[in-house]
Structure 1
Amino acid sequence: MVETEGVLFDLDGTLIDSRQAIIEAYRQTFEQDIGRPLPAPLEDASNLMAPRPPELFAEWAPGDGDPLELERAYGAHYESGAYRFCVVYPGLHQMLAALNDRGIVVGIVTNKRRSRVEADFDFLGLAESDFATVVTADDSVERKPHPRPIEIGLERAGLDPVSSWYVGDGPHDVEAGSAAGTRTIGAGYGYYGAERLSAASPTTIARSLADIVTAV
């Protein structure tokens, strides 16, 4: 078995539970900037996570405004207070400490914009210095399931994909990690669930953050 050199993580649904924060920011955008309620299917967080906000607005609010302007409104709502609905998953700090104690490099690769990641970090007491790299939607035109964001994370952290893992809660995370050449862990406790993750064929599925330490 190849010894683990590094682990890159998705953020939302993997390290932090921002489900209610994201729903709240979208709700405020629909109600205050579009003028109608949040569509019922978007109350399901799994329908909100894969698309970037402009794509979501183009699909769910066609003709209600420029998707890029609506993304800016969404970001403003998130950063002005919706982030306060975020919580870390149980055992996050213990998991990071355990990986650090073993000399394993840790990083984040997320489809989320950097300004919203910074709002999360400030509120939750996390720091970018806790990670070898933090790759956000501002760093790559491509997004997961495209492998490029993870490839950027591997390059910046100085990691070989063969000795690295990518951990995420969605099928698109598993697909991206596999395409980038890493082994993959599906975060079965996240937004998509173990059944949907299994269909993407991750190397293994974790039921908790503690399982990740065991797996790697």
Structure 2
Amino acid sequence: MARLVLWDIDHTLIDTRGVGRELSAAAFEQTLGQPMQQQARIDGITEPVIFRETATLHGLATDRADFERFARALADGHLRRAADLRERGHALPGAATALDALNAIGVRQTVVSGNIRPVAQTKLSVFGLDQHMVWEIGAFGEDHDVRAELVRLCLQRAGTVAEDAVLIGDTPADIEGAHVNGVRVIAVASGRSDEATLRNAGAETVLSDLCGTEPFVKLVRGDDQ
């Protein structure tokens, strides 16, 4: 039975419906003094990489200090616009029930996300999805540029071997990051990657959504293995 679940956030548990991009644009302009005309690829990418590559698209070179200023502005923006997130965004179908069900059987749950931790916490708290997360063992965008390293860090912080963990995410990058570390994946086709894409990326299991709590819990527990 899996003892630890590593959750992705965006398009796995929630959808900000464009508010996240607006907040990134505002933080980008506040940090670099230039409007964000376009944004680098974001699916499965960590926040430092998105910031750096977006700056490059605008002909700007950045360093770690720039990213840290951006991260502070982004975290502040999410707090200020929490009401907008709540009004325009939403928790994805089945997310709250899935989190509750895993908690009920004693599975530890945390976040492995390209988001910085303050943003991850705001996003989940806005939709009431934060209460079962063990934040101190999670891994976040500020911890490393590479998603596979975030998975490794999380396992290390949790004191858990890969065989006792399951990662739940919606992108091929989630799958790759888990498999590099020997972690099983339950992929959810609730983002931009369809079921075929996720299967081709190597996910052991692909779901259309998080509805159907009992089958989901059985998958996490590994009852079919």
Distance in 2 (CA, whole Å) between partners of 1:113 and 1:135 is 9
Aligned pair in 2 of structure 1 residues 21, 56: CA closer, same or farther (>3 Å)? farther
Tell me the secondary structure at the aligned position of residue 18 of structure 2.
Answer: helix
In structure 2, the residue matched to 1:16 is 14
1:113 is the counterpart of 2:111 = no
In structure 2, the residue matched to 1:184 is 185
In structure 2, the residue matched to 1:158 is 159
Distance in 1 (CA, whole Å) between partners of 2:79 and 2:159 is 31
The more displaced of 191-200 and 176-185 is 191-200
Distance in 2 (CA, whole Å) between partners of 1:108 and 1:93 is 15
Contact 2:138/2:157, CA 8 A, preserved across alignment: no
Query: Across the two proteins, how many residue pairs are aligned to each other?
Result: 205
Unaligned runs of 5+ in 2: 221-225
Distance in 2 (CA, whole Å) between partners of 1:27 and 1:106 is 31
Question: Residue 92 of structure 2: which of 79, 89, 112 is its match?
Answer: 89
Question: Residue 131 of structure 1: which of 110, 133, 144 is its match?
Answer: 133
Cα RMSD (Å): 2.9
Distance in 2 (CA, whole Å) between partners of 1:169 and 1:113 is 18
Tell me the secondary structure at the aligned position of residue 211 of structure 2.
Answer: helix
Unaligned runs of 5+ in 1: none
Deviation at 1:203, TM superposition (A): 0.8
Distance in 1 (CA, whole Å) between partners of 2:192 and 2:79 is 22
Tell me the secondary structure at the aligned position of residue 198 of structure 2.
Answer: helix
Look up the equivalent residue of 1:24 and give its one-letter code: E
1:54 is the counterpart of 2:51 = yes
Look up the equivalent residue of 1:107 and give its one-letter code: T
Give TM-score scaled by structure 2 length.
Answer: 0.76
Give a deviation string over 1:28-71, Cα, whole Å, max 9, x none: 457777555643xx5xxx93232523223223222398763555
Distance in 2 (CA, whole Å) between partners of 1:106 and 1:142 is 22
In structure 1, the residue matched to 2:2 is 4
In structure 2, the residue matched to 1:172 is 173
Contact 1:30/1:38, CA 8 A, preserved across alignment: no
In structure 1, the residue matched to 2:217 is 213
Distance in 2 (CA, whole Å) between partners of 1:131 and 1:192 is 25
Distance in 2 (CA, whole Å) between partners of 1:100 and 1:79 is 27
